[in-house]
């Protein structure tokens, strides 16, 4: 039977995902067969596995830290909010439909727990250590009866639990004590230690607080983890965008890239590799006045494309984007953002919203009609005919993934910049994406391929074209996405290993220190 440790929090966004990632890398460094697990994720930031299944992005980062290929058993239930207290339910990597919060929590969640236990059984057979992440707080009494991600999992495995609080937001001591008080006695007994996360300053000043917590709760404080700047690890969901304070006018940045942050933005990690470039200032835009003077505008994916498009129209961002494009600013769309660039988006089955049809931005000669089935696949593509700002952009074997609902049809003989040569491990020959030079204006390009900017040479070619437009010289490749991620995981592991009582953790997990 595999050993396990479970990380729960006093609330959402306290650092459960990051501590889970750190422990995965620490145990991987120790030579263990370690695997991450989260029974149920609620996030719009998702990923497609090699076998075409959809899972939460946080478990992808944890899998990478553990030295593993992501697989859906790590996250058997994914909820993707669609608005109006409703979510698309993804079970074992496949969408099964939309449900209201009441329908899911009152009727379906306990049925989905069967998939959770089956995934756990498979993981226990193939791995020696499970690092399990909870969700939100285990003390949410209104949800606890039908909860399948916190104490129900811990009880099923008899897994020891570490409770995490974020001291950076304040009230950490009260939240730890209060959470424990609200747990049932048998649940409280499973909590074997406490962690204080995101601490800034002199850790010795916290000694009285540690003494109080241990005396008050009878639980050891395993450590105080410092606030870590610029971790370089994929964020779980768009709530983290509020923490990405990036100035539009960083004097050291040669290029400024604006990402339009719509209410249902998804897969914003598509742009993390751009943000990490030393000559780039990448910022997120919610309001017209925040758009500034970007060198490139990016329209990201969306879980509710038509409503996000209407939002751009209503808040004035559509008009602001048109003004920039008319002035020569290039515009790129990824997935839902790509669909917005066309003439029309139709949703006759109301797959995403109640809108039957919405006019697109009208830049690209194409129309998209949503269907009941979602396409989820990993792909490999070549860049075959992309003239970007006067430069021929090339690229072979660009890896990424598709995750979208809807069929896009094109008018005339459009220029497809990419050719998909492999989809879900099958050789194909599919024209993909679209680019169009707007007469006397800027260039508009779109693609369904997530992760296209993660390819170091392709990304640098795009950035150098932007640099040339500003009269700046080319730069060689500045960063390797894969190497940067490995460094980030190792750095995180080093910080957490130094911050926690690892001998005490081993005892809690039933191991000899």
C-alpha to C-alpha distance for 385 and 478, rounded to whole angstroms = 25
CA angle 397, 399, 405 (to 5 degrees): 130
- Supply the Cα-derived Rg of the chain in whole angstroms: 23
Beta bridge partners of 89: 79, 97
Three-state SS letters, 194-259: EEEEEECCCHHHHHHHHHHHHHHHCCCEEEEEECCCCCCCCCCCHHHHHHCCCCCCCCCCCEEEEE
Nearest to 144 by CA among 106, 173, 174, 172: 106
In whole angstroms, give the CA distance from residue 81 to residue 61: 21
Q: What is the DSSP letter of 341?
A: T
How many Å apart are CA 299 and CA 109, to the nearest integer? 34
- Mark whether 24 is an active-site residue: no
H helix runs in 38-81, sequence order: 57-65
**Nearest residue to 296 via CA among 253, 336, 259, 241:** 259
Phi first, then psi, for residue 200 (nearest 5°) are -115, 135
**CA distance to 160, 279, 415, 489, 498, per residue, from 506 (Å):** 11, 44, 58, 21, 14
Closest Cα to residue 74, out of 120, 110, 19, 33? 120
How many Å is the maximal CA-CA distance in the chain?
Answer: 74
- Name the active-site residue from 28, 311, 335, 416: 335
Q: Which residues pair with 224 in a beta bridge?
A: 196
- Choosing from 256, 416, 450, 455, the catalytic residue is 450
CB atoms within 10 A of CB 411: 11
Structure tokens at 198: 């995101």
Per-residue DSSP letter, 303: S
Cβ-contact 214, 255 below 8 angstroms: no
Whether 450 is catalytic is yes
* Phi, psi of 481, deg, nearest 5: -55, -45
Q: How many residues does the chain have?
A: 513
DSSP-derived 3-state class of residue 488? helix
Contact 316, 499 (CB under 8 A): no
CA dist 315 and 321 (Å) reads 12
Active site residues: 335, 450
């Amino acid at each position: 039977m595999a050993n396990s440790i479970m990380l729960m929090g006093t609330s959402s966004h306290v650092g459960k995902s990051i501590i889970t990632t750190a422990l995965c890398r620490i145990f991987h460094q120790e030579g263990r067969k370690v695997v991450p697990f989260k029974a149920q994720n609620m996030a719009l930031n998702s990923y497609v596995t090699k076998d075409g299944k959809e899972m939460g992005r946080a478990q992808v980062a944890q899998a990478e830290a553990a030295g593993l290929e992501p697989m859906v058993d790590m996250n058997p239930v994914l909820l993707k909010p669609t608005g109006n207290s409703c979510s698309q339910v993804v079970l074992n990597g496949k969408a099964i439909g939309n449900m209201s919060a009441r329908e899911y929590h009152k009727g379906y969640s306990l049925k989905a727990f069967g998939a959770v236990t089956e995934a756990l059984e498979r993981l226990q057979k193939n791995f020696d250590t499970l690092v399990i992440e909870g969700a939100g707080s285990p003390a949410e009494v209104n949800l606890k009866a039908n909860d399948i991600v916190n104490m129900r999992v811990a009880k099923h495995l008899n897994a020891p639990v570490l409770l995490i609080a974020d001291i950076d937001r304040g009230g950490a001591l009260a939240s730890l004590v209060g959470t424990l008080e609200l747990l049932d006695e048998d649940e409280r007994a499973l909590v074997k230690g406490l962690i204080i996360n995101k601490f800034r300053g002199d850790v010795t000043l916290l000694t009285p607080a540690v003494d109080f917590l241990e005396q008050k709760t009878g639980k050891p404080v395993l450590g105080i983890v410092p606030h870590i700047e610029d971790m370089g690890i994929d964020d779980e969901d768009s709530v983290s965008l509020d923490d990405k304070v990036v100035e539009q006018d960083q004097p050291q940045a040669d290029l400024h890239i604006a990402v339009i942050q719509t209410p249902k933005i998804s897969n914003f990690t598509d742009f993390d590799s751009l943000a990490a470039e030393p000559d780039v200032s990448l910022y997120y835009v919610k309001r017209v006045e925040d758009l500034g003077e970007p060198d490139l505008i990016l329209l990201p994916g969306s879980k509710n494309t038509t409503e996000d498009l209407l939002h751009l129209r209503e808040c004035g961002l559509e008009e602001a984007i048109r003004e920039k494009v008319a002035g020569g600013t290039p515009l790129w769309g990824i997935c839902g953002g790509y669909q917005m660039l066309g003439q029309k988006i139709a949703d006759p089955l109301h797959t995403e919203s109640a809108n039957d049809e919405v006019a697109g931005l009208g830049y690209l000669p194409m129309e998209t009609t949503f269907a009941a089935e979602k396409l989820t696949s990993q792909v490999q593509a070549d860049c075959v005919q992309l003239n970007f700002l006067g430069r021929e952009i090339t690229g072979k074997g660009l890896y990424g993934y598709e995750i979208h609902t809807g069929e896009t049809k094109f008018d005339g003989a459009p220029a497809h910049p990419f050719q998909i040569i492999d989809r879900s491990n099958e050789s194909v020959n599919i024209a993909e994406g679209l680019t169009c030079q707007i007469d006397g204006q800027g260039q508009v390009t779109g693609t369904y391929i997530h992760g296209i900017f993660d390819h170091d040479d392709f990304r640098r070619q795009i950035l150098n074209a932007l640099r040339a437009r500003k009269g700046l010289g080319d730069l060689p490749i500045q960063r390797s996405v894969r190497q940067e991620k490995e460094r980030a995981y190792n750095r995180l592991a080093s910080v957490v290993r130094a911050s926690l009582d690892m001998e005490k953790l081993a005892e809690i997990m039933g191991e000899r220190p």
